[in-house]
Structure 1
Amino acid sequence: MPKLTEGQHRYLMEVADALRSAPRGSKQEIVGRACEFLGWSRDRVYRGLREVGWTSRRRRRQDRGNSVVTVEEARVVANLIHESTRQNGKRLLSFRDAIDIAFANGRIETYASPATFARVMREAGFHPDQLATPAPHVSMRSMHANHVWQFDVSICVLYRLTTGGLQVMEEKEFYKNKPHNLKRIENQRVLRYLVTDHFSGAFYLEYFQAAGEDQETLFKFLMSAFAERPHPNDPFHGVPSTLVWDAGSANQSYMIRNLLDRLQVEHIAHEPGNPRAKGQVERTHDIVERHFEGRLYMMRIESIEELNEKAHAWMRHFNSKRQHSRTKKTRYGLWQTIREDQLRICPPLELCRELLQTKPVQRKVASDLSVSFAVQGWGQATYSVEHVPGVRVGEQVDVSVNPYRAPSVLVAGLDENGGEILVECDPVQRDEAGFRLDSPVYGEGFHSVGDTDTDTHRKALAREAYGAETNREVERARAKREPAFQGSIDPISYLEADELPSYMRRKGTALDVPNPAAALEVQPLTHIEAMKRLAVKLERPIKPEENQAIRRAFPDGVPEDSLGAVVDWLSGGAGPPTGKRPSSLKAV
């Protein structure tokens, strides 16, 4: 408001005095006359009165802050408006229409103005404008260059002409309300593949002509992004530890995921509709569009190769010269701080192509804690898995080639939490005789293989069974044939206590078996064997004359069943021994 003149100031002072002394109901008439005299609006007159020190001293309403619309009613209307809002933020339902719909359907009882409903919504915190604001997010941190990369694909402003060359897509010709024009060139569109290093902001881009994303194009781009490029002004390369991207069909294809798994790259697909999860690469797309593709209107591009050549020239200059707003350094400059152990060199293209379809192979662990595995181009080799946690003799383990250090392999083990870990194993070296170089030499020492978890469990259970403190005590207890569990476990008594079922006796048929003794010819004892047995029975040596008498009586040997009669004779019995087997012997 312009500064009041001296006359205006004096006049407004008089009007202010009149308003202070005016009876109730006449103040509007006084203000109206001032508006007519000064040629001002009523609002300007009030501003002038406040400038000369006048206040209305209007009494505050006792119901100030209260509304005829309840928070619940405002919430119903806000929900109708919010659900009708499109993803681009356009509201399809107005406040008045939402109020009418809610009132007609009995969802609200108060029919008030849109302004009243909007005021209640804003005070409660669910006005459509408030609901449209983005949700709070957490800024993520990466530890070093090549720790985390972000990847995304977008459409370039160019498309390929059927007659050759590339043409800029004019908005007036291909805007959203002319989908038939976009359909006509969908196979000629140029896609921009882009990857950024989250730590330094360095990026690599490449253009491809395709109707959409596919795994063949994605493989070509990843190989170009991972590989060390020959240009001296382009240092950005290597295989990242983590790759963040969306859940597109090409990204989630088996072959691409298998390749990244073999390259030991953790690939994380963010939730759909959450582009902020890879906000850096989204922002870099905007940089490319404005700083590089904005130049294409002033150039004639004849091929994809020419487009990539010019894009890479701009990319190298931007990464080398432009200061990053977060780091206050150039992108390539900060990326150069990467350490040797953080820069993982990409394997050759041929090996990566094989890794697309390579799956871990199961191998059985031998008794010396080794496995056999063949790496293509290196042949069959033996690998010691003694240091791999969780391996057991006789069980299967997953083995795959280490793409960074072939012919070394990666063997899947278990960490302390039961999760899978990959442990690198080198081939066992052998001498000219075929012996392992890591084997101990006779006379120089011995080497025992470390216990597996199975061995540990086996020894622990044995100590528990014999109540021993050490494994040696277990061995002594077993040598003494001490019962396990100190005899506290009775493995038999419970069997007698069990009530068993009674069984019916079954009748049988006797077998007609001939007497085997009748057909059996028993060989007699030799004279020497007979004398030994007789001496034992008589408890004295056999006299020479007795020996001669026995030999005369039994010239072919003494039958075993005649020894009793000979003992009776030699003891003074009634009968002499004979070569026959009578039931009784007569005395000589």
Structure 2
Amino acid sequence: MWQREMVAELKNAKPKARKTVLETYQKLHGYSTEHLYRIAREHGFTSGRKPRADKGLSVLAEEQIEFVAAVIYKTGRENKGPIMPVENAMEFAIDNGIMTRGEISVGGMQRVLRQRQLGKDNMNAPTPHTEMRSLHPNHVHQVDVSTCIQYYLDDKGMAIMREDEFYKNKFANFQKVKIPLQRYVLTDHFSGFMFVYYYLAAGETAENLFDFLCRAWEAKEEGNFPFRGAPFSMLMDGGCRAKAKALGQGLWDGLSIEIIPGTTRNSRRQGSVEQSHNIWEQWFETRLRIDPANTIEDLNRKARGFCIWLNATRRHTRHGMTRLSCWMLIKQEQLRELPDRAELHELMNKPEVTRVVNNHKINYDNKVFNLKHANIPHGATVKVIRNIWKYKDGIITVAHDNKLFEARSIERLPPEQGGFAVNSAIIGQEFKAQPETETQKAVKRLEELATGSKEPDKKTTPFAGLNAFEGFAEKVANVATLPRRGTPIEITRTDEPVRIPIMEFLKRLRAAGATITPALNKELRQEFGDAIEIKVAETVIEAICANNDWRETGTRMAQAQ
């Protein structure tokens, strides 16, 4: 190798002759003197000189160095990282008065950045990550959707996206693809078992996600494709997680599947399923150039057969077994069989169910569930979560005050035995007291505080001996008010005589003891009409009761008015 030859010549040459050696290799390979010295040091050359006392020190302040590094970092691209040359960043710093020209060379700045691990290679390097593990097959499933960038289906069948026709400068060709091809991939994190299905869609949809998960978790017809069952947790990116939420929380609560939230721009969290995409592209989709599919059904038929073969034969690099062999380690309690789609649709479409706690019980789906152990207040409203696995055993989950409680249904006797609850107390033979609520316990404490006894007499005065009314006036003894002058009320009197209805007059006449005959009634109405002055009425009543002529009295009073 020429590097070793150069190192041997430099070692044999005197210090003054080393320049000639380097010039020779500069002409041969085009490298600078600094770069040739760097190559020589990497291959064991040492000059033998004593290191300078200021070796490792920089003439620049840390703020200047970090400013250049910050410019390089913040001007980078999201997918490629920092791309600005160091010389360009230094020029920007000089233009803005951060540095002065000639303080340090470009190579010196590059060396300083490398020493502080702020070079481009350091910034482009992936950050350290923590390896995550799952406990068993079907513990965690990862789901991801990707648009196929190599193939699409048109009226003539499968077509290939040629790189000379489909790239960033010919964006119009992408618009010719009416319906892109979406690849859905599910990976079991423990075994690496993968399931793949294709859809014709413009993007991710909740309907396709539901159909895909059902296809992956349902029992398969093929005997060599045993993969099935719902997981306990799911990892997915933001797009899939949004579509999963669109299916309704009732579906995930019902299946007891936890959707683990992720962080943005952290594709390594989805590392297993991302790697499954790569494996599938390399092993399956490369063969589509040889034997393309004509329809989406034909494509999925080919994919299913290849998926069976790949999982059964290809060994996983982590555990060294085939994906199928590793998945077959699953135990009975870990394999949760998926119910039929009709029941899943019911979980999706079912609105949130709430119930009111009454006597430590709630009614749900024509059953009574016991909540004595939950210590939930009487009359509280709780949310009912129906889990299809637990509901088969007569158990539901109840949410109250950000806490979850399991409630078991109360068994009932058959109709011929009255249909009572099995744990009901028999009259005259048993006594089963309900546990006291927190309110009942508190009321007893308050009773004892107020009266001094847990069971006081009804006549007992609470807080006896304490002051309830005395001293209130003294509390405001320092309050002084200015006198206010009032306005006298003027009483207005009307000169018009007071009249009463004729019926009221007749009532008063009858109350005075007079007998009102039809003839008298008629005469009175003809004389006075619908109303009579009250003074006239009093005079007429006196005359009638004294058997005097009331007409003369009434006429005389009317004339006086």
* TM-score between both structures, scaled by the size of structure 1: 0.69
Following the alignment from structure 1 to structure 2, what is the Cα–Cα distance between the partners of residues 197 and 316? 14
Matching residue's letter, 1:83: K
Contact 1:390 1:413 in 2 (8 A): no
Is the alpha carbon distance of 1:429 and 1:402 closer, same or farther for their aligned partners in structure 2, counting shifts above 3 Å?
A: farther
Partner of 1:166: 158
Q: Which moved more, 1:218-227 or 1:321-330?
A: 321-330
Q: Does 1:118 align with 2:103?
A: no
Is the alpha carbon distance of 1:326 and 1:455 closer, same or farther for their aligned partners in structure 2, counting shifts above 3 Å?
A: farther
CA deviations on 1:430-471 (whole Å, 9 max, x unpaired) are 431332233122354332333344444444555666667xxx
Partner of 1:261: 253
Contact 1:388 1:413 in 2 (8 A): no
Contact 1:74 1:121 in 2 (8 A): yes
Partner of 2:420: 435
Contact 1:385 1:391 in 2 (8 A): no
CA deviations on 1:193-233 (whole Å, 9 max, x unpaired) are 11112222222221111111011111111222222223222
Which of these residues, 329, 335, 343, is aligned with residue 343 of structure 1? 335
Aligned length: 465
1:311-390 aligned at under 5 Å gives the runs: 311-367=303-359, 369-374=360-365, 381-387=366-372, 389-390=374-375
Following the alignment from structure 2 to structure 1, what is the Cα–Cα distance between the partners of residues 351 and 137? 29
CA deviations on 1:465-505 (whole Å, 9 max, x unpaired) are 6667xxxxx23xx24966667x575545565765599999x
Matching residue's letter, 2:430: G
Partner of 1:449: 434
1:205-220 aligned at under 5 Å gives the runs: 205-220=196-211
Q: Does 1:85 align with 2:37?
A: no
SS at structure 1 position matched to 2:185: strand
Is the alpha carbon distance of 1:158 and 1:194 closer, same or farther for their aligned partners in structure 2, counting shifts above 3 Å?
A: same
Which of these residues, 87, 100, 106, is aligned with residue 91 of structure 2? 100
Matching residue's letter, 2:121: D
Is the alpha carbon distance of 1:59 and 1:463 closer, same or farther for their aligned partners in structure 2, counting shifts above 3 Å?
A: same
* TM-score between both structures, scaled by the size of structure 2: 0.72
How far did residue 388 of structure 1 move? 5.3
How far did residue 80 of structure 1 move? 1.2
Partner of 2:388: 403
Which of these residues, 260, 271, 289, is aligned with residue 263 of structure 2? 271
Matching residue's letter, 1:431: P
Partner of 1:308: 300
Following the alignment from structure 1 to structure 2, what is the Cα–Cα distance between the partners of residues 34 and 165? 63
Q: Does 1:28 align with 2:13?
A: no
Q: Structure 1: any 5+ residue segments left out of the alignment?
A: 20-26, 375-380, 469-473, 508-518, 520-588
Contact 1:324 1:330 in 2 (8 A): yes
Partner of 1:286: 278
How far did residue 299 of structure 1 move? 1.0
Is the alpha carbon distance of 1:55 and 1:345 closer, same or farther for their aligned partners in structure 2, counting shifts above 3 Å?
A: closer
SS at structure 1 position matched to 2:421: coil
Following the alignment from structure 1 to structure 2, what is the Cα–Cα distance between the partners of residues 492 and 159? 90
Is the alpha carbon distance of 1:463 and 1:333 closer, same or farther for their aligned partners in structure 2, counting shifts above 3 Å?
A: farther
Partner of 2:187: 196
Q: Does 1:69 align with 2:60?
A: yes
Following the alignment from structure 2 to structure 1, what is the Cα–Cα distance between the partners of residues 99 and 20? 41
Which of these residues, 167, 181, 185, is aligned with residue 175 of structure 1? 167
Q: CA RMSD in A?
A: 4.1
Following the alignment from structure 1 to structure 2, what is the Cα–Cα distance between the partners of residues 315 and 34? 59
Contact 1:207 1:307 in 2 (8 A): yes
Following the alignment from structure 1 to structure 2, what is the Cα–Cα distance between the partners of residues 30 and 296? 60
Contact 1:215 1:256 in 2 (8 A): no
How far did residue 129 of structure 1 move? 1.6
Following the alignment from structure 1 to structure 2, what is the Cα–Cα distance between the partners of residues 296 and 495? 96
Partner of 1:516: none
Contact 1:207 1:304 in 2 (8 A): yes
Contact 2:139 2:231 in 1 (8 A): yes
Contact 2:153 2:159 in 1 (8 A): yes
SS at structure 2 position matched to 1:319: helix
Following the alignment from structure 2 to structure 1, what is the Cα–Cα distance between the partners of residues 459 and 49? 108
Is the alpha carbon distance of 1:451 and 1:60 closer, same or farther for their aligned partners in structure 2, counting shifts above 3 Å?
A: same
Is the alpha carbon distance of 1:31 and 1:423 closer, same or farther for their aligned partners in structure 2, counting shifts above 3 Å?
A: closer
Contact 2:361 2:372 in 1 (8 A): no
Contact 2:139 2:233 in 1 (8 A): yes
Following the alignment from structure 1 to structure 2, what is the Cα–Cα distance between the partners of residues 234 and 489? 83
Following the alignment from structure 2 to structure 1, what is the Cα–Cα distance between the partners of residues 18 and 158? 75
Which of these residues, 413, 419, 429, is aligned with residue 402 of structure 2? 419
Partner of 1:109: 100
Following the alignment from structure 1 to structure 2, what is the Cα–Cα distance between the partners of residues 56 and 113? 22
Is the alpha carbon distance of 1:462 and 1:177 closer, same or farther for their aligned partners in structure 2, counting shifts above 3 Å?
A: farther
Matching residue's letter, 2:100: E
Partner of 1:296: 288
How far did residue 66 of structure 1 move? 3.2
Contact 2:314 2:322 in 1 (8 A): yes
Contact 1:78 1:128 in 2 (8 A): no
Q: Which moved more, 1:450-459 or 1:97-106?
A: 450-459
How far did residue 237 of structure 1 move? 1.8
